[in-house]
Amino acid sequence: MAKKAVATLHEGSTDGRAYSKVIKMVKSPKTGAYIFDEQMVPNKDVKEFFKN
């Protein structure tokens, strides 16, 4: 049963591979401390995420 379940997961859509988790360190204007901005971004928009 386990092998069958794993096989069906691999046969499913590969939409999850089209996204990357990106983490950017941003300085808070209020306190001056650094905060982390974590987002799931499509692979094609990763460079644009870090530009902003």
Decide: residue 22, CB within 10 A, 0-12 exposed, 13-18 middle, 19+ buried: middle
Q: What is the pLDDT of residue 4?
A: 55
Q: What is the pLDDT of residues 7-29, one digit of tens each?
A: 555 555 566 688 999 999 999 99
Q: What is the pLDDT of residues 25-38, one digit of tens each?
A: 999 999 999 999 99
Q: Are 15 and 28 in contact (CB under 8 A)?
A: no
Q: Are 28 and 35 in contact (CB under 8 A)?
A: yes
Confidence of residue 39 (pLDDT cuts 50, 70, 90): very high
More confident: 1 or 31: 31
Please give the Cα distance from 22 to 28 (Å, whole number): 18
Length in residues, the chain:
52
